[in-house]
Amino acid sequence: MFVAQLVLCGFLGGQCVLLEDVKGPKPSLEQCKSRQEEMFYDIHAKLPYIKFGGSRCIKTNKLHV
């Protein structure tokens, strides 16, 4: 199981924030990466001024975040 995370910058005077998927972990790394893209496009559509600062998929044994 993998949890998608994104780092987005441009909030609060240029500060960066770490966002974690609240829809729960994905069973595969490929699905996690796909979820990262979905999260980024959803956020970017509402906040076009943000900048992408990085991403990662965290391996977890939990069934929920």
Closest CA to 14 of 53, 43, 45: 53
Query: Whole-angstrom Cα distance, residue 32 to residue 5?
Result: 9
Q: Which helix (H) or strand (E) holds 5?
A: strand 2-11
Instruction: Please tell me the distance from the alpha carbon of residue 30 to that of residue 8, in angstroms, as a whole number.
Output: 21
pLDDT of residue 35: 96
Both tokens of 57, joined, read 């998929």
Beta bridge partners of 19: 6
Note the pLDDT of residue 61. 82
- Below-70 pLDDT ranges, the chain: 11, 63-65
